[in-house]
Structure 1
Amino acid sequence: MTRQSALVTSEDQALDDLLLEWFRWEAQYSGEKWYSNRDATCGGSASSRQWMSTDDIHEASVDAWQMQQVAAAMEAISGDHALAIRVECRNRLGPGVWRNPRAGLRQPLAYAAAKVAIRPWIVKFGVEY
């Protein structure tokens, strides 16, 4: 069991979880309809969603909206802050071998500063976490 610092609040953990969820969403998403990471012959197809409940459809659309708002918040912050968030998320998904060339050993501090910078944008765009 890993021990968490007393300085980490539940709000910080919720923001970490939201940013990690956004990173996963961004990694699988391809914004170009005909240049997606799927088979080109099926690039424009979509499921009918008839097998999903109304609650599932609503939840999926809310999640997609939230991820789009987090993406907009990422575009609103500086490049250094965005890089710190991306490096931290990539390291949380797999082996922690990714390094931030701009922060070096100060990556934890850069990530903390990036969370401070992105939090007002996320709140401004209406995302609850």
Structure 2
Amino acid sequence: MTREQSEQIEELLLEWYRWQIRQSHAATLAHFYRPEDRTCRGYETPANAEDDAQDSYQWADDQQSEQVQLCVDALTPEQRAAISTSMRNKESGRLVWTSGRAGDQHATYQAAKSRLLPMLIARHVMREASLSE
């Protein structure tokens, strides 16, 4: 795995982690709060081109994160724990989170990234490195 591929996997995993947080937060809110007010049902806020572009980018990011989720699901529990712990640390900007399930955190995380590389390439989330690299 090249350094560029490693960094690209890091970016994909961080975006995936943020997507997971948004998904779990939305599910929690839907459980306690109605998603719409009965008096405003059916009303749509007028959108402009900028909002439409932002929505389409968000949709593309969500689709990509779903593909990453499928790849992460294929990993061992230890590797999934190492990824989650690493992403939580990266998101918080601190190195305070650990996981007993991950064993040697760094080695397990690197092994997980190595296993993810061919899966992400197969799902067309990443490109293979060119021969000139």
Write 1 or 2 for the structure with the bigger share of helix: 2
Give the structure with higher Rg (CA).
Answer: 2
Q: Note if contact 1:85-1:111 (Cα within 8 Å) is conserved in structure 2.
A: yes
TM-score normalised by structure 2 residue count: 0.73
Shift of 1:61: 1.6
Shift of 1:128: 2.8
Alignment RMSD, CA only?
Answer: 3.0
Match of 1:42 in 2: 35
Amino acid paired to 2:9: L
Match of 1:25 among 16, 19, 24: 19
1:14 aligns with 2:11: no
Other structure's SS at 2:100 match? coil
Q: Note if contact 2:79-2:102 (Cα within 8 Å) is conserved in structure 1.
A: no
Shift in alpha-carbon separation, 1:17–1:100, aligned structure 2, 3 A: same
Which has the higher relative contact order, 1 or 2, with Cα contacts under 8 A spaced 6 or more apart?
2
Q: Which runs of 5+ in 1 are unaligned?
A: 1-6
User: Share of identical aligned residues, percent?
Assistant: 24
Shift of 1:55: 3.4
TM-score normalised by structure 1 residue count: 0.75
Q: Which runs of 5+ in 2 are unaligned?
A: 128-133
